[in-house]
Structure 1
């Protein structure tokens, strides 16, 4: 017979609103089927960072982390040796306000249509860049991302 003093106590009840919401959503997901837009597994392959002064950003990250750079004109430098490839965009007319994750797709047009069907919004139509094409979109929360396809 189990000694009642050795029994596991009831888990504490969380007073955190987020935890309570998560518990309710977990219960709901067990009883409801969710509809998902199924896409091939697309991965973030590039991170573009805005830069005010390209030389300053390059020097900072080269000294701090030892990253190496490839220039693509006076306002763009790609970096490597960082774990994830990326670049600094210092063009005031083109750079984003926040870091821009870039996802790779094998079919840019299909991915664009899937994003629209899922509720995303295209914020920058497809354009070419050295090595491929890409477009930008926002998710329902307003986060901006890009999708690229290599040439």
Structure 2
């Protein structure tokens, strides 16, 4: 069984959303620079191991606040899979679509956006295999 490991909440105004989730729920909002020069706004709902970034609390997940765009229009969950390539094929065979193909997040893993058979957005996450 593949686990939900992350969520993304789209926002028209990242700063306004940052304040909302921080003030209301006490989430720790942190910007992380990406390879392409953009910034990913992480949302910590629970403390993590600072080496692995894995939540310390079993079963807990963290997420992000992302700029609303043509792909990410509604909140989505991300599922950890052993192979994005394999699961992208499974998604297509079951009536879903690949909206954003596999991309690397430097040093941590790969992600892709797909839709399910009902048009709902899902993220797929594949950990980098360490030697």
TM over 0.5: yes
**Change over 3 Å in CA distance of 1:77–1:57 after alignment to 2:** same
5 Å-filtered alignment, 1:83-122, equals 83-90=60-67, 96-122=72-98
Unaligned runs of 5+ in 2: 47-59
5 Å-filtered alignment, 1:2-151, equals 41-73=1-33, 75-81=39-45, 83-90=60-67, 96-130=72-106, 131-151=108-128
Higher relative contact order (CA 8 A, sep 6+): 2
TM-score by length of 1: 0.64
TM-score by length of 2: 0.73
Once superposed, what is the RMSD of the aligned Cα atoms?
2.0
Deviates more, 1:103-112 or 1:76-85: 76-85
Q: Which has the larger radius of gyration?
A: 1
1:20-62: CA deviation from partner (whole Å, max 9, x where unpaired): xxxxxxxxxxxxxxxxxxxxx1111111111122221111111
Aligned residue for 2:114, secondary structure, equals: strand
**Change over 3 Å in CA distance of 1:95–1:89 after alignment to 2:** farther
Runs of 4+ in 1 over 4 A off after TM superposition: 92-95
Greater fraction helix: 1
Greater fraction strand: 2
**Change over 3 Å in CA distance of 1:75–1:94 after alignment to 2:** farther
Unaligned runs of 5+ in 1: 1-40
Aligned residue for 2:77, secondary structure, equals: strand
1:49-100: CA deviation from partner (whole Å, max 9, x where unpaired): 111222211111111111112212465311112542110112x557611012
Equivalenced residues, count: 110
